[in-house]
Amino acid sequence: MGIVGRALDGVLRLGAARAAGRAAWRAHLVVPTRADVLVDSSRQVAKMYADRGHHADAAAVLRSAEVKAGSPEVRIELAAARALAELDAGAPPKDLLAVVDAALGEADRHLDAGDVGQSAARLADALGLAYHPARHFGADPSPLLADRRAFVEPFERSSALKALLDDPRPRRRPERRGRAERMLVLGYDNRTFIDPIVAEYRASGVEVRALDLATDLGLRQGLSLRGLVEARLRYGLDGTRPPLPEHLADDLAWADVVFVEWGHRALVWASLVRGVECPVVARVHRYEALTPMPLLTVWSSVERAVFVAEPIRAVVEATAPGLARSSTEVSVIPNRLELARCVAEKLPEADRTLALVGWNKVVKDPAWALDVLAALRVTDERWRLLLVGEQKPADSLEASFDYHEELTRRIVKLRDAVEVTGFADDIPTVLRRAGVILSTSRMEGTHEGLLVGVASGALPVVRSWPELRGWGGAAAVFPQDWVVESPQEAAARILAATPSPPRSEAAREAQRWALSEMDWGVVRPRFDAVLLDP
């Protein structure tokens, strides 16, 4: 780390003024330094800041080093790191597209020179910047969803990315000889949907083993974005696949089928690694569609892919060309939801109560729900809104802070007309109070919170999910009459169902549809067939 690095670490550990650390770093840059030392030490000091949440300071360190760098190659590498720190700080850099283009140019140059490792590193830089969560899950619309052509065009010019996307040695498609009896479930960190499925299949007699690859220290480097990009590039160049770790060989040999939950890092790894000789089935949700992981997946290695909604399938098929070129069987099957258990008698207050479940994320756009409430209260101030879920924002991106601050001011002004319930273990019981269930999101997959409300007997009012409108939107998931374009249309749909929206024919018909189309008892046979059947 060096003397300056150790000194800075001490300053930060003591909580002293971060400005002192930046000044020490600027002094360090005055000393003549080799390019490789400059890059490494800049990254180390920036990481100290970033690890403590000081992303703007990390960006300042990298910016100073970027200016000091003598060679264009070093400047490009430092610029990518600086742009990433700025995105982490919630301040998208004005030169972001130029930095992405420069990183792709370096990736191409290194590949032409035969340096696969450095080519992969710069490709990973470009992908990490283009797909950064702040660009797709923050307060601004996702550039991929808004203009796919403009988003992918720089990557389509890259010879390195073209090489990465090649599929020179597809796996032989495994033959299913009967219904699978042994299932290996692979995931990476998020177990939201894994644990219930594992428990249910075990209870039904299927032998199940589950592996969380995020806890496998031996795979940590290989599952980083850079590690996955390098493995995919080497495979694209000559068909070389990374070896299967010895400690996982028994699990893979044991399985009749591998189910990869979330089309993320675990899926890319499973599609690349040697030694997977049984069918691989993957399930892809909304989140993964806006990451580079579908692009990096070797889809010819995936026998079957399940998407949770039609718009998500459309996005992945348009942005991951390997899927369309493969023979992967594609299905659209909604998430596991036990909706029949949500049916309950409404309380009297439900006649004038709206609800929004899981409200505390920018992508849910709860401000739109306040607009609907305001439109209703113009003529009847009895209307109220339940915001079901945690009271504090769930967004970690600094770019979302302004949205939540303004939202809080609006909620405070409305006083008793808005109630934030806090965390609730039993959502169906809470929703006995609600006669109208809202989906106000900018984008969704299947919006489980909405469906739970519909099953409870509430009237559904679904915004058209503006960021997915060009991909089919909410109307590709739900009946057209649920979907509205504006808060005024939402209010009109609700008022048309008065005096009691939950007792209206529209609410009863919506409940029948949800139970007959989206309940797990109805959906599971389709999921079983994809996962287990020949």
Q: What is the tally of structural domains in the chain? A: 3
End-to-end CA distance of the chain: 56
Domain CATH number, residue 448: 3.40.50.2000
Residues 159 and 193 grouped into a single domain: no
In the numeric block, the tokens 């006083």 are attached to 415
Residue 182's DSSP bridge partners are: 207
Contact criterion met (CB below 8 Å) for 434 and 386: yes
Does position 23 have pLDDT exceeding 60, yes or no?
Answer: no
Is 55 within the bounds of a domain? yes
* pLDDT value of position 516: 98
Quick one: pLDDT band at residue 8, thresholds 50, 70, 90?
very low
In the numeric block, the tokens 């399940």 are attached to 306
Entry field: residues in the chain:
534
Residues 333 and 344 grouped into a single domain: no
Is 139 within the bounds of a domain? no
pTM given for the model: 0.91
C-alpha gyration radius of the chain:
25
Residues 411 and 467 grouped into a single domain: yes
Question: Which of these, 209, 206, 307, 197, lies nearest to 251 by C-alpha position?
Answer: 209
Contacts of 342 (CB under 8 A, 6+ apart): 427, 428, 431, 452, 455, 456
Is 76 within the bounds of a domain? yes
Is 304 within the bounds of a domain? yes
| Ranges 113-117, 154-158, 188-192: which has the least confidence | 188-192
Q: What is the mean pLDDT of the chain?
A: 91
Contact criterion met (CB below 8 Å) for 71 and 35: yes
* pLDDT value of position 26: 54
Does position 247 have pLDDT exceeding 80, yes or no?
Answer: yes
Which one of 311, 337, 363 terminates a domain?
Answer: 337
Does position 16 have pLDDT exceeding 60, yes or no?
Answer: no
* pLDDT value of position 94: 95
Per-residue pLDDT of 69-105, as tens digits, reads: 888 999 999 999 999 999 998 888 999 999 999 999 9
Residues 15 and 85 grouped into a single domain: yes
H and E: helices and strands count for the chain: 26, 12
Domain hosting residue 87, numbered range:
2-133+146-164
Is 449 within the bounds of a domain? yes
Contact criterion met (CB below 8 Å) for 440 and 368: yes
Is 532 within the bounds of a domain? no
Residues 497 and 397 grouped into a single domain: yes
Per-residue pLDDT of 131-188, as tens digits, reads: 999 999 888 899 999 999 999 999 999 999 999 999 999 999 898 989 999 999 999 9
Residue 285 burial (CB < 10 Å; 0-12/13-18/19+)?
buried
Residues 202 and 270 grouped into a single domain: yes
What kind and span of H or E run contains 51?
A: helix 35-51
Cis previous bond, 499, omega within 30: yes
Residues 75 and 217 grouped into a single domain: no
DSSP 120-140: HHHHHHHHHHHT-HHHHSSSS
Quick one: pLDDT band at residue 240, thresholds 50, 70, 90?
very high
Residues 378 and 274 grouped into a single domain: no
Residues 350 and 302 grouped into a single domain: no
Residues 300 and 378 grouped into a single domain: no
Is 448 within the bounds of a domain? yes
Per-residue pLDDT of 27-67, as tens digits, reads: 455 444 566 667 778 888 888 888 888 888 889 889 988 88
Residue 183's DSSP bridge partners are: 208, 257
Quick one: pLDDT band at residue 7, thresholds 50, 70, 90?
very low
Residues 322 and 457 grouped into a single domain: no
Residues 318 and 432 grouped into a single domain: no
Is 379 within the bounds of a domain? yes
Domain CATH number, residue 332: 3.40.50
